[in-house]
Amino acid sequence: MLTDRELLILKAIVQIYTSDGQPVGSKALVSQLPIHVSSATIRNEMATLEEMGLLKKTHSSSGRIPSIQGYRYYVDHLLKPDKVQSSDLRQIRSSFNHQFQEIDDIVAESADMLSKLTSYTAFTVKPELKDAKLEGFRLVPLGNHRVMAILVTDNGDVQNKTFKVPTNVDPEALESVIRVINDELVGLKLSEVFQRLATDIPIQIGKYIETPEGFLDIFEDVLKKSATERFFVGGRLNLLDFSKQHDLGSIRSLYSLMNRSTDLANVLGSPDQNIQVQIGNEITNNLLKNYSLITATYDVDQHGKGVIAILGPTSMPYSKMIGLVGAFRTELARRLIDYYHDIDDS
């Protein structure tokens, strides 16, 4: 249990160090603390905090910097999120004020926007699609026996895939297949559509084309694209500004991680409604042991929940970043809810 004075000193050291990146000495703290205390007393308290593992001494200075445990204690017990500056809030709202054609466009743009606001690497995951329903499926002829399969879900998601139709397939039979899919599957949840594809739908389609498997493979591929979580990354190059990794192999591994959806899903996890802070080894992937990750969900009513996150150094200004993440998820959720309302009204 820390004393009130130890709490004030730890809080001040974290705030000063995350602001200017310089080790903090006792003389600098004399003018920063809200209580009158001598430099010698501060040095003694700093030594005690170091013994507790909350501070550590650098080789180049007599000052102290927070340890990983110190950051953890600060985040858990001392931190109060900063109020977001009005200029940052205007910038967020202005960026979301554009006309977007698809949900993916909004969520992808939000990753870039969040990375610019924080100067860190940002991740956004679109709202979960487990309750999405199939709204329609059609084929658009492109000429030379090529067609585009287009699938639409009720949450506004649109996916497509181009493929070549065998010359022996009767166009009228293909139209009959499309009618079967729309008559039988539209209005069902995607999970139910997958179930029907494994049971009776192949039999029904087999009445019109001899080899329904090939066509159903195409349909299922497009369906899987709609049902799969999609991750967007903004500010990959920002890693170079704050990474402690100096060899190309480590940097390359980090960049590779950001392109693997399964690994990203494990790293981001499923945060609850509260904003979650993971520091150093608390992050599941060993590649990120020298970083901090702030994650939060955003709620889009009946359309599900998504995730936003920022990856930065352990010395990030936590109060400011948590304030920004909190405001950002509110604005992102509001923009997506407006998007869904526009779809429902159209």
Domain coordinates in residue numbering, the chain: 4-78, 86-128+229-345, 134-227
What pLDDT is attached to residue 194?
86
> 86-128+229-345 has which CATH code?
3.30.450.40
pLDDT means per 10 residues in the chain (346 residues)? 94 94 90 89 94 88 89 96 94 90 89 96 83 85 86 82 82 88 90 87 87 82 75 90 75 85 81 87 90 94 87 96 96 91 69
**Residue 261 structure tokens:** 């959806």
Q: Could you tell me the fold of the domain covering 134-227?
A: Enolase-like; domain 1 (3.30.390)
What pLDDT is attached to residue 70?
97
Q: Do the first three CATH levels of 4-78 and 86-128+229-345 match, i.e. the same topology?
A: no
What pLDDT is attached to residue 129?
61
> Between the CA of residue 224 and those of 129, 180, 185, 191, what are the distances in Å?
11, 19, 15, 10
What pLDDT is attached to residue 312?
95
> 4-78 has which CATH code?
1.10.10.10
Q: What's the longest Cα–Cα distance across the chain?
A: 91
What pLDDT is attached to residue 211?
75
What pLDDT is attached to residue 8?
95
What pLDDT is attached to residue 126?
85
What pLDDT is attached to residue 263?
82
What's this model's pTM, rounded to 2 decimal places? 0.78
Q: List pLDDT tens digits, range 271-286.
A: 777 899 999 999 988 8
What pLDDT is attached to residue 228?
67
